[in-house]
């Protein structure tokens, strides 16, 4: 397990219907859920913790970024136009999460570990595979997030995702997140998107639909694999990816 400061280390499903989501994601990914409190659950693949679930009035996936000094990050974030959504949420034995909202409406969480440094499953089916920003203004987003998290931003065309290409955010030489600019006609809204790895994309998408979800997008991305966006029965969007085989 290796989650350096400045990397996306975890994800949480915020939902008002945790019982239904336990059934859906359990049947989809084979996860089991362990209840830690009245408001928090941990999803696991076998005995390995993957992501969390928090009782909330809103239903959405939140990507969480490991931070050291949260006050320094918050100061930079405010200067860059982000806003703290509400007070920090502490889960004893897990972490304190502080939610940030960027000017486009994308939400992410700052993760201060109190026992859980991040996901314990970093590869293989059911793991947290990747985190990616969908933005309507790549140039501004790149300036914003590199200033807040001291990332390096590299541009690439290798994923064939449109004329503007793709941005890889890096800590040192390690890629910790990506970003792409969508066109207005794509029907995409700004968001930090969470990806989970699967061994069979088509079977996973079909199973999600059988369980009351739906598939909203699919593409074969060069140098990455077959990827797509699914929607769970509560309306929460998440992505799945079947990596290219070596």
Q: What is the mean pLDDT of residues 148-157?
A: 97
Which structure tokens are listed for 232?
Answer: 């769970």
- Say if residue 135 is in the same domain as residue 214: yes
pLDDT at 23: 98
For position 1, what pLDDT does the model report? 56
**Kind of pairing between the strands at 95-101 and 107-113:** antiparallel
For residue range 127-145, list pLDDT tens digits in order: 999 999 999 999 999 999 9
Q: What is the mean pLDDT of residues 168-187?
A: 95
What share of the chain has pLDDT > 70, as a percent? 100
Supply 134's token pair: 């969908």
Q: Please check whether residue 123 lies inside any domain of the structure.
A: no
Task: Tell me the CATH number at 52.
Answer: 3.10.180.10
Q: Is residue 1 part of a domain?
A: no
Across residues 71-83, what is the average pLDDT? 96
Q: Are residues 106 and 172 in the same domain?
A: no
Is 122 part of a structural domain of the chain?
no
Mean pLDDT, the chain, integer: 96
pLDDT tens column, 112-124: 999 999 999 999 9
Q: Among the three residues 50, 83, 113, which one is the final residue of a domain in this structure? A: 113
Query: Do 141 and 109 reside in the same domain of the chain?
Result: no
Residue 17 corresponds to which tokens in the numbers above? Answer: 């219907």
What are the start-end ranges of the H helices in 30-132? 70-79
Query: What pLDDT is recorded for position 245?
Result: 87
CA dist 16 and 34 (Å) reads 17
What residues make up the domain containing 93?
8-113
Q: Check whether residue 58 and residue 137 sit in a common domain.
A: no
Residue finishing a domain among 113, 141, 168: 113
For 127-183, the three-class secondary structure string (H helix, E strand, C coil) is CEEEEEEEECCHHHHHHHHHHHHCCEEEEECCCCCCCCCEEEEEECCEEEEEEEECC
Number of domains comprising the chain: 2
Counts of helices then strands in the chain (DSSP H, E): 4, 17
Is residue 121 assigned to a domain?
Answer: no
Question: Are 106 and 205 in a shared domain?
Answer: no
Whether residue 173 is found in the same domain as residue 219: yes
Tokens 């136009």 -> residue: 81
Residues 104 and 63 in one domain: yes
Q: Is 40 found in the same domain as 146?
A: no
Instruction: Indicate if the pLDDT at residue 81 is higher than 90.
Output: yes
The reply to whether 108 and 15 lie within a common domain is yes
Residues 49 and 134 in one domain: no
89: confidence class by pLDDT, cuts 50, 70, 90: very high
Do 160 and 59 share a structural domain?
A: no
CA of residue 140 relative to chain centroid, distance: 20
Whether pLDDT at 97 is above 90:
yes
Distances (CA, A) of 211 to 48, 97, 124, 204, 218: 24, 30, 22, 11, 18
Quick one: DSSP state of residue 185? Answer: G
């Amino acid at each position: 397990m290796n989650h350096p400061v400045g990397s996306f280390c975890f994800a949480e499903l915020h939902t008002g219907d945790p019982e239904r989501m336990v059934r859906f994601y359990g049947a989809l990914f084979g996860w089991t859920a362990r209840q830690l409190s009245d408001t928090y659950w941990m999803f696991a693949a076998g005995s390995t913790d993957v992501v969390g679930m928090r009782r909330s009035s809103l239903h959405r996936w939140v990507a969480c970024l490991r931070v050291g000094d949260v006050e320094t990050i918050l100061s930079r974030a405010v200067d860059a136009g982000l806003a703290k959504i509400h007070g920090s949420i502490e889960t004893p034995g897990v972490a304190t999460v502080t939610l940030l909202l960027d000017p486009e409406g994308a939400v992410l969480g700052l993760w201060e570990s109190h026992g859980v440094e991040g996901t314990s499953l970093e590869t293989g089916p059911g793991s947290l595979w990747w985190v990616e920003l969908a933005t309507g203004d790549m140039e501004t987003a790149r300036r914003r997030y590199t200033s807040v998290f001291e990332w390096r931003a590299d541009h690439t065309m290798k994923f064939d995702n449109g004329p503007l290409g793709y941005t890889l955010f890096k800590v040192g030489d390690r890629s910790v997140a990506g970003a792409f600019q969508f066109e207005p006609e794509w029907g995409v809204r700004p968001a930090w998107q969470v990806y989970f790895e699967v061994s069979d994309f088509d079977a996973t998408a079909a199973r999600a639909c059988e369980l009351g979800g739906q598939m909203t997008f699919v593409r074969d991305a060069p140098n990455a694999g077959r990827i797509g966006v699914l929607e769970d029965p509560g309306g929460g969007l998440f992505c799945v990816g079947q990596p290219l085989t070596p």
